[in-house]
Amino acid sequence: MIALAADCILLRREDGEAEPVNAGTISIEVVSDGQPPFDDEFVKEASAAVWHYFRNEAGRDCVTVAEFAEALEKVLHGFNLEPGKGAENGQTGIVEADLQKLAVASGQAFELTFFPRLRAELRTQLRSSPHVLRFRGLRRCVLRLTGARRWTPRCRSLQDQIISFLRECFNAEARPEKCSLVVV
């Protein structure tokens, strides 16, 4: 038996066949009436977050297509913010920040200036009272800061540090009551 790669889970179809997939190889298509509610990049990031949940949080190495689709549907439904939703309490919709741009702006000092910039960006974005504050580009950011070309244990460690730092800062800041933090 061949061991499953560390960055894969088995996605089992209805016919019983299973295929190893990682967060970047899952192909998702959202069907809706009229204008799609999300752009392709957002759907890819949401599916990567669902993959991460099953692989790392739930500790699963095999998931059925139905389970994956149901979890992704719940996630996307939670983000389906109609224009003006939340406006009655002064909140805007989704506010987004790019972690890779912060890493590039940190220059040669890398982590020394990255974390203060990250905290400042979080504070700036929270001023607009968002319903969802999304930091995207985590993987590219980590690869940039570590100078790595491939994912390594050091990358994983830095990724965990960034997520922990964002959680701590988010919890310490004054923010709208129903504001969510998403890091992808």
Q: What is the pLDDT along the chain (184 residues), one digit of tens a residue?
A: 566 666 778 878 778 887 877 766 666 666 555 555 666 777 777 788 887 788 877 888 888 888 888 888 777 776 654 444 444 444 457 788 899 898 888 777 676 789 999 999 999 988 888 888 888 888 889 988 988 888 899 988 998 899 899 989 988 887 777 788 888 7
pLDDT of residue 121: 92
The whole-model pTM stands at: 0.57
Buried b (16+ CB within 10 A) or exposed e, 146-169: beeeeeeeebeebbeebeeebeeb
